[in-house]
């Protein structure tokens, strides 16, 4: 039986207009996401990696449809089609008012749990909030569910009257996770959920997330800077560069036999002594990532690419299947460059 598809992102573009001058006219466009396609199956984890500013958070925010709250002038095109039991729903085309009934199905957890948890609310209030908004549960039912959720994420139900500052970073992220799973979502967007935590705590939180995934049949979009963080928890990995997907494949293939020159450079930056990785030639990138307001024509990576050819400036490379469903956006890729 083929796996159940949960969401299909097709040619997603997110552009932020920049206004300036005395008349406050549009003077430029930040092409934060510039034609991104990938899909997530039920119970699957997709890792989304790339350097700072490549558009990861913007993809995540588009997928929970909160961009227009953050930036009212944002221009979003393409589609984000969720395959819910009641039918296919495109979050790009939904009117904000009709979004309400789907919000409980897709949740987000953030890098900095301290900034994302209201410091004036108790943990019980924080976790109850989505239940009050999205369910018709009674006060007693909500109290019981909060206690149950706290235990599920490895905290004590007796801690429900405490405030976020009374918890450690790892515990605060557990509170964020409890809030995210409160309404039985199908997908959780995890925006660098462990990067602010100590390494020893990172593993505990990731293990908790994997246990919860099994128990509640969750799908994750797991955002990180670094491939080594997502490699062992992801089924498939999307690599982004300057608003584009450059590679999308099974986690093991992307990590152990990266094909796009940018993915190879990212792997070269992984500081682990992995003998399999050592055999490959290291790709060290020159220069900085260009601004998404001044993207190079054609391939966005060509200015930093060790194998660029003159015609890379002509048109944007499409994702091509290089075997085993490993999609690579580079026509000049060869096994040994
Ligand atoms: N509301 C906004 N208005 C204008 N530009 C924005 C807005 N949000 C993001 N951007 C720009 O879009 C680009 C992508 O940003 P985004 O936050 O998605 O990147 P990221 O990959 O999550 O980076 P990081 O790894 O640092 O979190 C950046 O150039 C950023 O400055
Ligand atoms: Mg981000």
Task: Give phi and psi for 115, each to the nearest 5.
Answer: -75, -30
Q: Domains plus CATH for the chain?
A: 5-116+186-198+216-328 (3.40.50.300)
Nearest ligand (C-alpha, residue 71): 1
Q: What integer pLDDT is reported at residue 278 of this predicted model?
A: 52
Mutational pocket test of ligand 1: of 33, 55, 66, 238, the residue with most ligand atoms within 8 Å of the beta carbon: 55
Q: Dig out the tokens for 37 from the structure.
A: 């396609």
Q: What integer pLDDT is reported at residue 335 of this predicted model?
A: 66
Q: What integer pLDDT is reported at residue 22 of this predicted model?
A: 85
Q: What integer pLDDT is reported at residue 272 of this predicted model?
A: 57
Q: Which long-range contacts (CB under 8 A, 24 or more apart) does 203-212 make?
A: 204/170, 205/170, 205/173, 205/174, 205/177, 206/233, 208/153, 208/154, 208/174, 208/177, 209/177, 209/233, 212/152, 212/153, 212/177, 212/181
Q: What integer pLDDT is reported at residue 334 of this predicted model?
A: 77
Q: What integer pLDDT is reported at residue 84 of this predicted model?
A: 96
Contact criterion met (CB below 8 Å) for 234 and 46: yes
Residues with CB under 6 A from ligand 1: 16, 30, 32, 50, 52-58, 70-71, 225, 292
Mutational pocket test of ligand 1: of 57, 110, 115, 189, the residue with most ligand atoms within 8 Å of the beta carbon: 57
Cα(55) to ligand 2 centroid in Å equals 7
Q: How far is CA 19 from CA 25, 48, 57, 72, 74, in A?
A: 5, 30, 22, 13, 12
Local confidence pLDDT in tens for the 337 residues of the chain = 778 999 999 999 999 999 988 888 889 999 999 999 999 999 999 999 999 999 999 999 999 999 988 889 999 999 999 999 999 999 999 988 888 889 999 999 998 877 889 999 999 999 999 999 999 999 999 999 999 999 999 999 999 999 999 999 999 999 999 999 999 999 999 999 999 999 889 999 999 999 999 999 999 999 998 888 899 899 999 999 999 999 999 999 999 999 999 999 998 876 655 555 555 567 778 788 899 999 999 999 999 999 999 999 999 999 999 999 999 999 998 766 5
Ligand 1 atom with least separation from CA of 291 = 29
Question: pTM for this one?
Answer: 0.94
């Amino acid at each position: 039986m083929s796996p159940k598809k949960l969401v299909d992102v097709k040619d997603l573009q997110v552009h932020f207009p920049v206004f300036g001058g005395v008349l406050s006219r549009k003077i430029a466009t930040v092409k934060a996401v510039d034609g991104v396609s990938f899909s997530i199956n039920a119970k699957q984890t997709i890792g989304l990696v790339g350097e700072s500013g490549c558009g990861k958070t913007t993809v995540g925010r588009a997928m929970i449809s909160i961009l227009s709250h953050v930036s009212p002038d944002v221009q979003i095109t393409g589609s984000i089609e969720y395959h819910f039991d009641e039918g296919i729903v495109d979050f790009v085309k939904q009117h904000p008012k009709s979004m309400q009934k789907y919000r409980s199905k897709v949740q987000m957890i953030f890098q900095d749990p301290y900034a994302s948890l209201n410091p004036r609310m108790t943990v019980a209030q924080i976790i109850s909030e989505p239940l009050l908004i999205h369910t018709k549960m009674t006060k007693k039912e909500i109290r019981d569910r909060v206690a149950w959720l706290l235990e599920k994420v490895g905290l004590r139900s007796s801690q429900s009257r405490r405030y976020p500052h009374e918890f450690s970073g790892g515990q605060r992220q557990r509170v964020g996770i409890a809030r995210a799973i409160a309404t039985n979502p199908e997908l959780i967007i995890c925006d660098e959920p462990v990067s602010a935590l100590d390494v020893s705590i990172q593993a505990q939180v990731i293990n908790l997330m994997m246990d919860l995934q099994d128990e509640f049949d969750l799908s994750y979009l797991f955002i990180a800077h670094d491939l080594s963080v997502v490699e062992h928890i992801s089924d498939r990995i999307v690599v982004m560069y300057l608003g584009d997907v450059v590679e999308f494949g099974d986690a093991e293939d992307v990590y152990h036999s990266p094909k796009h020159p940018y993915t190879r450079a990212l792997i070269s930056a992984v500081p682990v002594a992995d003998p399999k990785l050592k055999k490959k030639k290291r790709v060290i990138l020159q220069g900085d990532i260009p601004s998404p307001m001044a993207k190079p024509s054609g391939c966005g990576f060509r200015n930093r690419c060790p194998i660029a050819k003159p015609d890379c400036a002509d048109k944007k490379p499409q994702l091509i299947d290089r075997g085993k469903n490993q999609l690579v956006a580079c026509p000049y890729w060869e096994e040994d460059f």
